[in-house]
């Protein structure tokens, strides 16, 4: 299904009509979720443009970050777990990144049957070139928010997905 970026978002009058028909339709909740979804789509679309400039996808970028911080490489199982996807999905991702010379498979020193995935010099250079742009992009997304507002937003987002976690810092 294609990603839609709806320009005709419902106004308060349309939402109130829905609420008359469906009493569980809370106008404030609907507006909040629609705004959140719209914001996510805008951020994702702009990020995809930045990733594309570097021949990256979100998955490739995240995998490069994991490997950047893993001095001894990571197994396919570890990467799949960290990415939250199945091993076949990770294998396909690794295959493409190996072809692009971003990562390499190296025999595991502890387990002769095993293989560890390592970042190559090409992958490290790409990541190091991309990271400043990544941080600039993040900064632009929140540039209209004060540090206090950014902290509040982070706490509210954490609170939405985990009521007990919303009481804390959210681990970040």
How do residues 39-51 score in pLDDT, each as one tens digit?
999 999 999 999 9
Q: What pLDDT score was predicted for residue 30?
A: 86
Q: Residue 88 in 3-state DSSP?
A: helix
Residues spanned by the domain of 92: 56-132
Tokens of 171: 């681990």
Q: What is the pLDDT of residues 80-130, one digit of tens each?
A: 999 999 999 999 999 999 999 999 999 888 887 889 999 999 999 999 999
Write the DSSP symbol of residue 106: E
Quick one: 44 and 74 in the same domain? no
Q: Is residue 152 within 8 Å of 158, Cβ to Cβ? A: no
Distances (CA, A) of 116 to 54, 82, 131: 25, 14, 24
Q: Please indicate, yes or no, if residue 155 is contained in any of the structural domains.
A: no
Output the pTM of the full model. Answer: 0.79
Quick one: 66 and 126 in the same domain? yes
């Amino acid at each position: 299904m294609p990603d839609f970026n709806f320009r005709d978002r419902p106004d308060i009058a349309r939402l109130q009509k829905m609420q008359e028909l469906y009493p569980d339709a809370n106008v404030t909740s609907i507006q909040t979720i629609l705004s959140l979804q719209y914001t996510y789509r805008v951020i994702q679309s702009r990020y995809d443009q930045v990733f594309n400039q570097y021949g990256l996808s979100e998955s490739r970028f995240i995998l490069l970050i994991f490997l950047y911080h893993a001095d001894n490489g990571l197994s396919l199982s570890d990467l799949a777990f960290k990415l939250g996807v199945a091993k076949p999905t990770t294998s396909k991702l690794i295959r493409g990144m190996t072809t692009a010379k971003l990562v390499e498979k190296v025999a595991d020193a502890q387990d002769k049957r095993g293989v560890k995935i390592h970042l190559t010099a090409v992958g490290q250079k790409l990541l190091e070139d991309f990271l400043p742009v990544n941080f600039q992009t993040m900064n632009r997304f929140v540039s209209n928010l004060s540090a206090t507002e950014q902290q509040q937003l982070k706490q509210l987002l954490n609170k939405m997905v985990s009521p007990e976690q919303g009481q804390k810092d959210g681990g970040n």
